[in-house]
Amino acid sequence: MIAQLLVKTRQRMQKAYEVTQTDIASVRSGRASPSLVENIIISAYENTTKMKVMEMATVTTQDARTLIIAAYDPSQIPALDKGIKEANIGLTPLIDGDIIRISIPPLSEERRLEYLKLAKTKIESGKIMIRQARGESIKEMRHALEERLINEDEKTLGEKQIQEVTDQFSQKLDELSKQKEAELMQI
């Protein structure tokens, strides 16, 4: 019973970690990263379909400050260009034949601090999701005790193990936060 609950808890927390990791990747850091544009929604095929950039094109980095977007369907390059401009993320696409180039401007100190604050907010949201997963698991543990599926000692041991898993994922989020902070403050 407790082993199953621990596996379930670990899965919930892993999902929360992955969501936070994806959120953090979308925070600009002054470096070219495909995650800056991959999830932008584009009105494709004369506004008949809404698709993400990553569903319409390959996004790669040419160097530390340049993204290259190669559309699977070259007729959709104007739609990609328009969608990225409308996303209002501070990037200016430039159509260059069959590809789109995006030069990433360096961040000002003010913008770096703004993005750092945003990253910390996203990390805190991740920690909240992890604490919620812990709370749900402890609630299930207490319910199992009330139903007499486990005894008091097993409940105490289970809660301790759940807290250890929570601490592990919280530490992983702290490491993610430090990495993003170092990335943002690097000039």
Over the stretch 101-128, which tens digit does the pLDDT of each residue have? Answer: 998 888 888 888 888 999 999 999 999 9
How many whole angstroms separate alpha carbon 14 and alpha carbon 17? 5
In this prediction, residues 45-59 reach a mean pLDDT of 90
**Phi and psi at residue 186, in whole multiples of 5°?**
-75, 130
Q: Which H or E run contains 70?
A: strand 66-71
Task: Check if the beta carbon of residue 136 is closer than 8 Å to that of residue 98.
Answer: no
- Segment holding 73, helix H or strand E: none
Give the phi and the psi of residue 151 in degrees, each rounded to 5. -100, 180
Cα(187)–Cα(165) distance, integer angstroms:
36
Number of residues assigned to the chain: 187
The band of 27, judged by pLDDT with boundaries at 50, 70 and 90, is confident
Mean pLDDT of the chain: 90
Please give the model's pTM, rounded to 2 decimal places: 0.73
- Spell out the domains of the chain, with CATH numbers in brackets: 2-25+108-185 (1.10.132.20), 34-103 (3.30.1360.40)
pLDDT of residue 187: 61
CA distance 179 to 177: 5
Predicted confidence (pLDDT) per residue in 62-101, tens digit: 988 899 999 999 999 999 999 999 888 878 899 998 999 9
Going by DSSP bridges, is the β-strand pair 99-103/41-44 parallel, antiparallel, or unpaired? unpaired
The pLDDT assigned to 172 comes to 97
Contact 177, 123 (CB under 8 A): yes
> For the segment 29-48, what is each residue's pLDDT rounded down to a tens digit?
778 888 888 888 998 888 88
- In angstroms, the CA 58 to CA 149 distance is 52
Q: How sure is the predictor about 59, in pLDDT bands with cuts at 50, 70 and 90?
A: very high
Q: Residue 178: what pLDDT? A: 95
